[in-house]
Structure 1
């Protein structure tokens, strides 16, 4: 790819002699490498005559999106900032890419991720310290890793609310929001676990905790 200096050299030589072959010979003598092709030299010359510049210009052409479309996308996410672009696409009758482009490039909205945390009570600090001390002693056992079982659960509320970890809030700035989760409504727990050699579950529980009856 030719540098700006090399393009300028070709342009000046061609303006002087109007011969591509002469330009190529002069280029090879000057820079000691293969010259640009005929098409490139002529293109640079035409570009300079037409625009007065050899620089590549960034395209400013953008799809002409109606104001009503941008407005409808904004109003939709102002009403419900937790809404996904897929859902907004269905509600507004617009392609998902159009919704996303309007949010990010025209409205300058960003998806802020909510971190789901558990409230810490005063009595929890002592329990956490005790757990850390116990674990530090346990890891000294070479067979300890083989005894570990990692588990997790997902909670599905009968109201339709799902306890998930990919909540997003769309906005122009971080909302610093706090979302209260339903912890004691009627729900179904799905539990599974994994050890070094085995998978457990999934198990389904209808009670508030995984100590309830299996279904």
Structure 2
């Protein structure tokens, strides 16, 4: 960046934020001009700044020659501590950007402060006989596999996932930094707008995804099976060879759905009341 054009730290941070949103240097330049009411940097300079942030985790200029000055000061450690106390769920990348610290220094100070990353656990309640049913399923499946080594390659494993507009949590991407385990409890809001995604996986790849705009019902699931899922499977493999698997969700257990699966995959579907009973 030319000496005649200097950017403040706050301007650099905004540029990186805008680029993360728009992924377009020209649009970032327009946002800069509208926001700061001055001539924006060139697209080349914008891309150079973004590249530097991706490589170093910081928008700060490279240190001048001479002995480098440590950023792990009492003041910076206090800033880091306060940031994670205020928002324990903030990502290290976001904290690095907001505190204007490179990520290696931030990680070092996190360690010095005794902060550790904790992930929330999502627990599924089990009934008293559920463990026995799971063991029974495992025994049945292992015996079938011993008799037919090709079984695994013929199974289409399926499931659905719900994505909410309010940012429904994916716990694998959700980290809480704290000195001790905060035992975070995730509350789920009811009747929040979102979308349900169905997908299947088999040895040859992925089937779908297909989308439910509303809650899954027996009727909507049956229509999806008839119009989308089964035709997609048929385009990849012989329907008379494959084994279809789904779990025991209420829509999957409907009599109309089970009747359709019995006709389409006779003695070749895994699920509640299926050829092999899927355990809770």
Moved over 6 A (4+): none
Q: Which residues of structure 2 form unaligned runs of 5+? A: 1-67, 229-280
- Mapping for residues 37-76 of structure 1, pairs under 5 Å: 63-76=70-83
Match of 2:204 among 197, 203, 213: 197
Flag the structure with larger Rg.
Answer: 1
Q: CA deviation at 1:159?
A: 1.0
- Residue 116 of structure 2 corresponds to residue 116 of structure 1: no
Which piece of structure 1 moves more, 154-163 or 129-138? 129-138
Cα 1:185–1:121, aligned 2, differ >3 Å: closer, same or farther? farther
Asked if the contact 2:118–2:176 (Cα under 8 Å) also holds between the matched residues in 1, the reply is yes
Q: Which residues of structure 1 form unaligned runs of 5+? A: 1-60
- Counterpart for residue 53 of structure 2: none
Q: Determine helix, strand or coil for the equivalent of 2:197.
A: strand
Asked if the contact 1:85–1:96 (Cα under 8 Å) also holds between the matched residues in 2, the reply is yes
Q: How many residue pairs align between the two structures?
A: 153
Distance between the aligned counterparts of 1:207 and 1:72, measured in 2? 44
- Counterpart for residue 263 of structure 2: none
Distance between the aligned counterparts of 1:141 and 1:114, measured in 2? 41
- Counterpart for residue 173 of structure 2: 166
Q: Determine helix, strand or coil for the equivalent of 2:108.
A: helix
CA RMSD of aligned residues (A): 3.1
TM-score, length-normalised on structure 1?
0.57
Q: Determine helix, strand or coil for the equivalent of 2:201.
A: strand
Distance between the aligned counterparts of 1:64 and 1:97, measured in 2? 10
Match of 2:105 among 69, 91, 98: 98
Q: Determine helix, strand or coil for the equivalent of 2:172.
A: coil
Distance between the aligned counterparts of 1:91 and 1:145, measured in 2? 48
Q: CA deviation at 1:75?
A: 1.3
TM-score, length-normalised on structure 2?
0.45
